[in-house]
Amino acid sequence: MPEPRIALVVMSADELQAQRDGDRRGRVWAADYPTAGDVLQARMMAAGERPQPTEDAPWGPLQIRELATGLAIGGIGFKSVPDGAGSVEIGYGIAPSRQGRGIASEAVAAVLELARRHGARVVRADTDVDNLASARVLTKNGFVQVELNGGSLWWERCL
């Protein structure tokens, strides 16, 4: 098994606030991080629309850090806590400068393992119909397409 290139990190309140506000001062971030999706997740968490993850309960947005440089290069995480059936939805995004290198696939694999360790039974994700790169990431991680709803494809992976 190859050495991991990334780590999923629970962000401090300070890091989340900086991400939400676009305050790059003193941050160890790739030049094109945070993405618009990362900022949106930080704002939703600040508004109480997303859970605040902890080490013991990882449900919420997590930061993707590149181990070789220490830079924050993207985000991945859970949109809520698992429902009564153990189903949870994920979302993810990688800074454009790090795309096309398998980072998203590695991050999804890591978040699947995190979900499994914390008792989730099914992980769901959606992609735009024309987002072939994200479809490949999900397929590579064992997701199967379960629904087409408007312009979105819904995917599931049983753990």
Q: Which of 138, 103, 136, 107 is nearest to 123 (CA)?
A: 138
Tell me the pLDDT tens digit for each residue of 5-24.
Answer: 999 999 988 998 999 999 99
Q: What confidence score (pLDDT) does residue 7 get?
A: 97
Tell me the pLDDT tens digit for each residue of 106-126.
Answer: 999 999 999 999 999 999 999
Look at the pTM and tell me if it is higher than 0.75: yes
Average pLDDT value for the chain: 94
DSSP string covering the chain: -PPP-EEEEPPPHHHHHHHHHT--TT--B-TT-S-HHHHHHHHHHHTTSS----SS---SEEEEEETTT--EEEEEEESS---TTSEEEEEEEE-GGGTTSSHHHHHHHHHHHHHHHTT--EEEEEEETT-HHHHHHHHHTT-EEEEEETTEEEEEEE-
Q: What confidence score (pLDDT) does residue 147 get?
A: 94
Domains of the chain: 6-124 (3.40.630.30)
